[in-house]
Amino acid sequence: MATTNVPVHAGLFKPYLTDFKGKFLGITQQQFFNNEAKMMTQVEGNVSPISQWYDMMTQMFPDKRLTFLNYGYLEEDSNFDWINEEDLEQKCSANLIRTLLGDADLRGKKILEIGSGRGGNCSYLARYTGAASVTGLDFCPAHIEFCDRVHRLDGLSFIYGDAMALQFADEEFDVVINIESSHSYPDLNRFGEEVRRVLKKEGLFFYADTMKGANNSAMSEQDRIGVDFFTNVLEQHQAMILHASFNVEDHLDISEGVVRAFESEQGHLKHLLKTLVTEKKQQNSSLPPEVCHAFDTMFHFFDDSGVKAYKNGHLVYKLWRLKKSA
Ligand SMILES: C[S@@+](CC[C@H](N)C(=O)[O-])C[C@H]1O[C@@H](n2cnc3c(N)ncnc32)[C@H](O)[C@@H]1O
């Protein structure tokens, strides 16, 4: 299959879906550009290529130091006097969920994270907030296996499932969290309905993701790397919030703090990923060339094209604090 060097980015591990995963999973670049890969998450019995990609990456990088998969957040004067030493290597990501939660008091609450990845947020919630229980749900089986192995804490559990068809009873949770996952959902409104259904009355929904910004001017091929995948727009997220009748308590653009995290000298996901890739190479473990290329494009996004895109408004990072009405 002929591939170009224009990678596709579906969040963290996806800038290289075109070159590598396309070959690996037999899907074409065009299918990704047309978002047909997203559509596949809806088809029963047909495993999503996104989930397969995460599966493969988790099998290739089972290291328990990597528990967050989000872009992170830093304020100009962020201080980390609240953080445990063991979380310093991922402090930007821990700071993102901390910022999203604001001053919410989660003591004694029953919390669900949808799209919980490698469990960093759930572990944070269990260790820092005094929550009664935390459940992480993800549609990538390797993530669930990873979390069961790595995060062993009272009240914390992980379960396989789909964001658009939650297996929980109505009004089961006090709080729902969703971070950097919804941009790949084929049906945001269905997701919103499900969040509303499983939340108790007056339950809280903390929601954060990247989307296309207001600037839709043309970009060079280099500047599009990792940026093009985000086809979701603000109006779709707003429509979901309206559709599910959530009350908006807060709505913030945190792009500047996300860029500050990209530009930080330590404690960002990109530093840990660079360390893991270097270690892998030093162990003489052969990484397929497509995977090496994939990491190169991801690092290009963190170091260059992603920074530019948030700064010039091609991308925007939003968070919402939402409430289900009584
Ligand atoms: C970029 S990762 C973010 C993980 C985590 N929220 C964090 O902040 O570290 C996105 C996660 O969403 C999951 N995901 C994507 N689509 C999903 C779906 N339809 N249902 C459940 N999980 C999904 C992926 O498997 C992946 O683990």
Confidence class for position 288, pLDDT limits 50, 70, 90: confident
Domain ranges of the chain: 1-76+85-326
| Average pLDDT score over residue span 293-320 | 95
Q: How many residues does the chain have?
A: 326
Backbone angles phi and psi of 202, in degrees to 5: 65, 15
CA distance 177 to 34: 28
What pLDDT was estimated at residue 92?
Answer: 98
- Reported as a pLDDT band with limits 50, 70 and 90, residue 14 is very low
- In testing the pocket of ligand 1, which one of 39, 66, 87, 139 has its CB within 8 Å of the most ligand atoms? 139
For residue 40 the two structure tokens come to 């596949």
CATH code of the domain occupying 1-76+85-326: 3.40.50.150
Determine the pLDDT at residue 243: 97
Residue 274 token pair: 């660079």
Judging by DSSP bridges, how do beta strands 110-114 and 133-138 pair with one another?
Answer: parallel
Which atom belonging to ligand 1 lies closest to the Cα atom of 179? 6
Closest by CA position to 98, among listed 117, 112, 116, 78: 78
- Whether the model clears a pTM of 0.75, i.e. scores above it, the answer is yes
Is the pLDDT reported for residue 7 higher than 60?
no
CA dihedral 320, 184, 51, 271 (to 10 degrees): -60
Query: 248 CA distance to ligand 1 centroid (A)?
Result: 23
pLDDT at 27: 40
Q: What are phi and psi of 323, to 5 degrees?
A: -135, 140
Q: Are 146 and 124 in contact (CB under 8 A)?
A: no
Which residue has better confidence, 98 or 29? 98
Least confident of 25-29, 51-55, 184-188, 227-231: 25-29
Does position 40 have pLDDT exceeding 50, yes or no? no
Calculate mean pLDDT across residues 291-319: 94
- DSSP, residue by residue, 187-211: -HHHHHHHHHHHEEEEEEEEEEEEE
Q: How far is CA 113 from CA 30, 152, 174, 325, in A?
A: 31, 16, 11, 20
CA distances for 147 relative to 14, 120, 156, 208, angstroms? 20, 9, 10, 22
Over residues 160-214, the pLDDT tens digits come to 999 999 999 999 999 999 999 999 999 999 999 999 999 999 999 999 999 999 9
Lowest mean pLDDT among 36-45, 51-60, 231-240: 36-45
- Nearest one of 48, 46, 53 to 20, comparing CA atoms: 53
Name residue 156's beta-bridge partners.
134
Let me know: does 269 contact 70? Beta carbons within 8 Å.
yes
Cβ < 6 Å from ligand 1: which residues?
11-12, 41, 50-51, 54, 68-70, 115-117, 120-121, 138-140, 143, 162-163, 179-181, 184-185
Residue 318's DSSP bridge partners are: 209, 253
pLDDT tens-digit map of 119-156: 999 999 999 999 999 999 999 999 999 999 999 999 99
17: pLDDT confidence band, cut at 50, 70 and 90? Answer: very low
Tokens in use for 150? 């790595």
- Mean pLDDT over 111-121 rounds to 98
